[in-house]
Structure 1
Amino acid sequence: MSKSGTLKTTIENKIATVSFGHPASNSFPSEQLQRLTDEINRLSSNDDINIILLKSEGDGAFCAGASFDELLAVSNLEEGQKFFSGFANVINAMRTCSKLIIGRIHGKAVGGGVGLAAACDYALATTESAIKLSELAIGIGPFVIEPAVSRKIGKAALAEMTLAAHEWKSANWAQEKGLYAKVLETVSDLDSELENFTTKLASYNPEALSEMKKVLWEGTENWDKLLYERAAISGRLVLSDFTVNALNQFKKK
């Protein structure tokens, strides 16, 4: 697998399946974030598809969030804001996409990975799909993804996750809070449920699906500005001595 990650799309029966992968627990370097943003924007105007299924490769983590190597390489405010804007770009692309996006969360999600799951319109998971927002532990915070996560689980649950930065929350907890629509026992159960659900959904009136998408995201129009303001906060904090030391400690583990 490429160091910058892989991204591929297959289209069948009006469903576009977008699959991303990276050798470091499906984490996201900037190049991969841009690829995913571009692909979602491209699929948004494709009349041959009705819905998008977002998934990641392998049987380990769903997504480990931002690339630690790239975080450590940030050397100034501009680079920091640009890196975190990568997640802002993806979330905004998912938000404004004309197609409903269904998430296949087969394993653990951390940081930006939780943001990706939250930006899906509907997410199915397995019992292995625990979540964690560990950003405070490394001196930053989940500022860019917070609006997407809070929209799904509310501020109280977000605070519970963010302040207990070392704690994993179970997939069942995530379902209770509204992040996951269903939690299945196994990956094969997950894929069977996804096939049934996406086949039904893709057969519905595409205009109705598109209008429903708009309704689901009403009130988020300010994210075009908000998420980039948040990226600037993270970009500044990632330069702090605290964060540089914390990232180096994490890498040694």
Structure 2
Amino acid sequence: MGTDRQNGSLYTNITGKVATVEFGHPASNSFVIEMLERFADEIHKLSDNDTISVIVLKSEGDRAFCGGASFDELVAISNLEEGKVFFSGFAKVINAMRECKKVIVGRVQGKTVGGGVGLAAACDYVFASEAASIRLSELSIGIAPLVIAPAVARKIGTAALCEMSLAPTEWKSAYWAQEKGLFSKVFDDIKELDKELDFFADKLSDYNPDALAEWKAVLWEGTSHWDTLLTERAAITGKLVLSEFTKNALSKFKK
């Protein structure tokens, strides 16, 4: 399912009852809009696939897990509609993961920024490496983590979200993320992580798929309004990105 590298790549591999979805992009595994659309579609498709009961979400390579939104596309936003469409990409992915009938297990092997933190938060269980530090950098470029905030707060609470987002240049360690509830398990090396992750996903996929689906629905209770909420938040972010302040911040950042 790969495309040319500029648009990133997305592959799904099914082994037994476990589907592994792997995304990649040369720019620290960040997401361009087209890739977010494909990603959301893929999660919806797997949700309806009766042959699987667990999804493992991972990114390419052994460095960054996800650099968030594509910087080049962010800089190129020139009107409100483009801004809303761009930030709706992450809204669609988070909502697809939330509505998905399968349990989603995340594999976070490295640094994770912005939308990538939202992605990890939308997983139901997360294996991380010691190198998986996290950062919400949005305020430093003139926007705010509005779209991903509900998903992140659901995992770590408002106080930790506040602490993290108001210090947008500060990295939080993988152990901080585990203590706050974003990561379920942290390993000091990737080899050990992958061994444990495979074992966990296989075991999970042997449980009653109907029980897993019913239980996942309960775990996400009270979030059905996110369909509207996250899209509204995307429109606000789209407006922020067009402000003079943000344009200046982005051009400085680019240099």
Q: TM-score range by the shorter chain?
A: over 0.9
Letter in 1 for 2:147: V
**Given the alignment of the two structures, is residue 111 of structure 1 paired with residue 133 of structure 2, yes or no?**
no
User: What do the CA deviations read for 1:174-211 (whole angstroms, capped 9, x no partner)?
Assistant: 00000000000001011011011001000000000101
For residues 6 and 42 of structure 1, the distance between their equivalents in structure 2, rounded to whole angstroms, comes to: 17
Q: TM-score, normalised by structure 2?
A: 0.98
Q: What corresponds to 2:83 in structure 1?
A: 80
Letter in 1 for 2:107: R
CA shift for structure 1 position 137: 0.5
Find runs of 4+ consecutive structure 1 residues off by over 6 angstroms.
none
For residues 212 and 250 of structure 1, the distance between their equivalents in structure 2, rounded to whole angstroms, comes to: 43
CA shift for structure 1 position 98: 0.5
The DSSP-based 3-state class of the residue aligned with 1:10 is: strand
**Given the alignment of the two structures, is residue 183 of structure 1 paired with residue 191 of structure 2, yes or no?**
no
Q: What corresponds to 1:159 in structure 2?
A: 162
The DSSP-based 3-state class of the residue aligned with 1:3 is: helix
CA shift for structure 1 position 220: 0.2
Q: What corresponds to 1:89 in structure 2?
A: 92
Aligned counterpart for 2:62 among listed residues 53, 59, 62: 59
Letter in 2 for 1:79: E
Letter in 2 for 1:123: V
Aligned counterpart for 2:18 among listed residues 15, 19, 30: 15
Task: Note the residue ranges of structure 1 that are not aligned, 5 or more in a row.
Answer: none
For residues 29 and 247 of structure 1, the distance between their equivalents in structure 2, rounded to whole angstroms, comes to: 17
The DSSP-based 3-state class of the residue aligned with 2:58 is: strand
Aligned counterpart for 1:219 among listed residues 217, 222, 229: 222
Aligned counterpart for 1:38 among listed residues 41, 56, 62: 41
For residues 112 and 20 of structure 1, the distance between their equivalents in structure 2, rounded to whole angstroms, comes to: 14
Equivalences for residues 113-128 of structure 1 within 5 A: 113-128=116-131
The DSSP-based 3-state class of the residue aligned with 2:62 is: coil
For residues 175 and 118 of structure 1, the distance between their equivalents in structure 2, rounded to whole angstroms, comes to: 12
Task: Note the residue ranges of structure 2 that are not aligned, 5 or more in a row.
Answer: none
Q: What percentage of residue pairs aligned between the two structures are identical?
A: 66
For residues 133 and 117 of structure 2, the distance between their equivalents in structure 1, rounded to whole angstroms, comes to: 10
Q: TM-score, normalised by structure 1?
A: 0.99
For residues 69 and 55 of structure 2, the distance between their equivalents in structure 1, rounded to whole angstroms, comes to: 23
For residues 106 and 249 of structure 1, the distance between their equivalents in structure 2, rounded to whole angstroms, comes to: 29
